[in-house]
Chain A
Amino acid sequence: MHVLRYGEFVTENKPSTPPARPVFRLCLQALLPEDAKFAQRILCNPARTSCIWQFVQKDYDALLVDLRHPESTRLLRERPMGSLIVLALAEDKKGLPGTMSLRLPFDEAILLDTMRQASEYLVRRSPMFQNRASSRDAQAASGEQGGEPMQASRKVNSLFELAEDIRKSLTRDKEVHVTIGQLKYHLFPQRRVYLSASPATTLKHYQGKLGEPIEISGANGGEQVSATVIPKRLDDFLWNLGFHAGGGRLFPWLNPSQSYKISRWPPMLESSNRTQVFRMVARLGRTAATPKEIALSTGTSEAEVHDLLNACSLVGCLQSDAAGGSGIKLVHSAPPPSLKPALVVDASRRPVVTRSLLSKIRNKLGISA
């Protein structure tokens, strides 16, 4: 089994700056499962909330609690000092003085309004946060948070240029609103989600030249996002943009003579040539290699490898050999001892896996390369 020495590699495209909107930690553990799912689905939509709610189970700022939950008493007793309690009450129950409350079953509008009040209370209560917010406001007024300033609204002429622009926005954790003809994408890097009526896979139709420029605007330049659009994972957008932006050309921040590997599998399933992509990813997961070496070992073209590396770079799972050159040796080692006894395969009863068998399974499932 491979042991990855992360220190030898540089992770591409790693976000580093603090978020621009208030971020609060909310615990939903004291709600019944269906209510918790509902609340999370509503409160995770950045177009509907004034702050970012992170859903956690400890060290939280606010606890949404249903007293019917069997663990509610314990959770209330063990809550972090100073955390805000929001009671979710059945219709026949009265609220408690000094607490915020809302009725069950949850109503979307009331839930959003109550949690907006909760976030405003948390902002007012936290001088530290107000200082941070003031500091960010000052930075926003004067331009940027370091690095070269970005225009509030700008135009680019290709997905390739869009990818470069979005990469810069990602490193700043900035909201970005993109208009490509009739398509509109609203990206919220802090939440790792995007909003759009169009799936990210539509981007593949915009590879190459476009009839009109792509418009990009920042947090204040974008139009109001419809609150009814369901958030989707930002990685889906970034993966599709990265995969289709280059058209076989490597992004300018990547180098064709450098060796690359992945720090994790990219979270993707959709691709027009999925099996080839998986083979390349499996290769990149085992040893570092240059684009040419990957193409040779997987029977793909260098252009296809470039598209994959672009996509991995944009979703942040690509690592490069910082020193340059190829032939990096990864250390092989036994896995660490597991805390629990793992199921051990009896050596005499291990299956014999052959290329022919794998090929048969692929053919049967219709997933041949």
Chain B
Amino acid sequence: MSFGGGQNEYKLLFTGPMGAGKTTAIRAISEIEPVRTEAANTTAGGGGKATTTVGLDYGEISLGNGERLRLYGTPGQDRFSALWEILTTGAMGVVILVDHSDPESYERMEHFLDSFAGLITETAGVIGLTHTEDAPDRPMDPYYESLAQRYMMLPVMPVDARSSEDIRGLLDALLSILESRLADSSVDSLSGDL
């Protein structure tokens, strides 16, 4: 499977731990039925299965004139981090989804912030908190403290991953950050110094 990178193809990543809502979020905005991919099963004693589902999701949005925005949902498990690196190449931004009701949500967000720090620094990132209704009083301050410790200022927004409007809201914020960077640099495009 190709991971994009062509001249008329742009990539956006959706990442986060398992169960955070990556597949649902891609489904909410993709023009095609999201595709779930499989990879070779390299796990020792893998029960004879040649392949295993790694939870890599793919959706896309056509932009006209042959241009496409590819939407990739990364596998949530660390053991597929090599795949994260491949997906990161050429991406224009990353959406990190975290289950806010997960007792370890703060640590999980930190893990993905650190894993994708290079991409976030060079492009843009947003954080969507899912299942906030299950823990409405759970503080959000630790998310902001973790971001401040990393000198990052990213939007942290409660979202319903099933809601197309909420996911478009996250992308709206991501695009606003990229536009703000363009405005600061007073040029019409960003690449190396993005």
| Residues of A bordering B, CB below 8 Å | 1-4, 28-29, 36-37, 40-41, 44, 55, 57, 191-193, 230-233, 235, 262-265, 267-269, 274-275, 278-279, 281-283, 285-286, 297, 333, 335-336, 338-340, 342-347, 349-358, 360-362, 364-367
Partner of A342 from B115, B137, B144, B182 at Cβ < 8 Å:
B115
> Across the interface, which residues of B come within 8 angstroms of A365, CB to CB?
29, 61, 168, 171-172
> Across the interface, which residues of A come within 8 angstroms of B155, CB to CB?
265, 281
The 23 sampled A-B contact pairs (Cβ below 8 Å) are: A4-B153, A36-B103, A40-B134, A44-B136, A235-B140, A264-B144, A265-B156, A265-B157, A269-B166, A274-B169, A278-B176, A279-B180, A286-B184, A336-B151, A342-B118, A343-B88, A343-B117, A345-B90, A352-B191, A353-B178, A358-B179, A361-B63, A367-B175
Residue pair A233, B136 in contact (C-beta under 8 Å):
yes
CA distance A330 to B66 in the complex (A): 41
| Residues of B bordering A, CB below 8 Å | 5, 10-11, 29, 61-64, 67, 69, 84-85, 88-92, 101, 103, 114-119, 121-123, 132-140, 144, 147-148, 150-159, 166, 168-173, 175-184, 188-192, 194
Assuming A57-B103, A336-B150, A356-B188, what are 5 further A-B pairs, CB within 8 angstroms? A3-B151, A55-B138, A192-B139, A267-B158, A336-B151
Q: B117, B144, B153: which has the most chain A beta carbons within 10 Å?
A: B153
Min distance, Cβ B86 to any Cβ of chain A, angstroms: 10
> Across the interface, which residues of B come within 8 angstroms of A361, CB to CB?
10, 61, 63, 69, 171, 175
CA distance A263 to B176 in the complex (A): 17
Residue pair A230, B136 in contact (C-beta under 8 Å):
yes
Decide: A367 near B172, CB < 8 A? Known: A230-B136, A345-B118, A355-B179. Answer: yes
> Across the interface, which residues of B come within 8 angstroms of A263, CB to CB?
144
The 3 residue pairs across chains A and B that have the minimum distance between CB atoms = A342-B117, A278-B176, A282-B180
Residue pair B179, A282 in contact (C-beta under 8 Å):
yes
Min distance, Cβ B185 to any Cβ of chain A, angstroms: 11
Decide: A269 near B158, CB < 8 A? Known: A36-B103, A351-B191, A361-B63. Answer: yes
Residue pair A2, B153 in contact (C-beta under 8 Å):
yes
CA distance A220 to B158 in the complex (A): 32
Nearest to B190 among chain A residues (CB) is: A353
> Across the interface, which residues of A come within 8 angstroms of B181, CB to CB?
286
